[in-house]
Chain A
Amino acid sequence: AQRVTQPEKLLSVFKGAPVELKCNYSYSGSPELFWYVQYSRQRLQLLLRHISRESIKGFTADLNKGETSFHLKKPFAQEEDSAMYYCALLGKGAQKLVFGQGTRLTINP
């Protein structure tokens, strides 16, 4: 079964501090993984995809197949990073994403 787990429903850090949002997955194979973000009063949008190995808005995420994790990291949090973050998995040949439960990140000034 495909499953995505985000163990933290809420995460609060101070501005300038490092932030890490955890994502663990269960999938028998090599999945494609994504992070989506929903800022206040905005629609959900793609933040980054692991296959691109990109850094978006200072965020990076590394796929660790051994630990089946895809944690989202940023070295120095900014207030505008406050949002709801979802980790999502796309199985091989799948037609739909499997989303985690989401983590609400709050950056305190």
Chain B
Amino acid sequence: NAGVTQTPKFRVLKTGQSMTLLCAQDMNHEYMYWYRQDPGMGLRLIHYSVGEGTTAKGEVPDGYNVSRLKKQNFLLGLESAAPSQTSVYFCASSHDFPELAGVYEQYFGPGTRLTVT
């Protein structure tokens, strides 16, 4: 099992450019998440999905869009990149029974380091 994978690993964009980050998981998880990690701010949830075809806003959704056309994939899009979106982006997935805290766990990808100049 590869677990959670992310592409690309690194990317440099100019202000105004667009791009899509891809997250894939092979654990048959229903839930998937996109976070950004910034120094001093910790992990902040951008968007998440509780199943194929569903998406929901997290804490910092502005400037991002997402799609979950297939259960195993969760795409994060930046339509017009801004320097404030320079960050490390993490994808995660989990099973769909969070009430079972004894086994609940989010599995994270390796991250994508994005720089917007």
Question: Residues of A with Cβ closer than 8 Å to B?
Answer: 6, 9, 32, 36, 43-46, 49, 51-52, 86, 90, 92-97, 99-102
Contact pick for A95, options B40, B98, B105, CB 8 Å: B98
> 18 interchain pairs (CB within 8 A)?
A6-B42, A43-B90, A43-B108, A43-B109, A49-B104, A49-B105, A51-B102, A52-B102, A86-B43, A90-B101, A93-B99, A95-B31, A96-B33, A96-B48, A99-B42, A99-B43, A99-B44, A101-B42
Question: Residues of B with Cβ closer than 8 Å to A?
Answer: 4, 31, 33, 35, 40-45, 48, 50, 58, 90, 92, 98-99, 101-102, 104-106, 108-111
Known: A44-B90, A51-B101. 20 other contacts (CB 8 A): A32-B101, A32-B104, A43-B109, A44-B108, A45-B108, A46-B105, A46-B106, A49-B105, A86-B43, A90-B98, A90-B101, A90-B104, A92-B99, A93-B98, A96-B48, A99-B42, A99-B44, A101-B40, A101-B41, A102-B42
A residues near B43, Cβ cutoff 8 Å: 44, 86, 99, 102
State A97–B90 Cα separation when bound (angstroms). 14
State A51–B42 Cα separation when bound (angstroms). 24
CB B100 to nearest CB in A, in angstroms, measures: 9
CB A105 to nearest CB in B, in angstroms, measures: 14
State A32–B108 Cα separation when bound (angstroms). 19
CB A24 to nearest CB in B, in angstroms, measures: 14
Query: Do residues B58 and A96 form an inter-chain contact, with CB atoms below 8 A?
Result: yes
A residues near B50, Cβ cutoff 8 Å: 95
State A99–B92 Cα separation when bound (angstroms). 13
State A52–B102 Cα separation when bound (angstroms). 6
For A99, give the chain B residue with the smallest CB separation.
Answer: B43
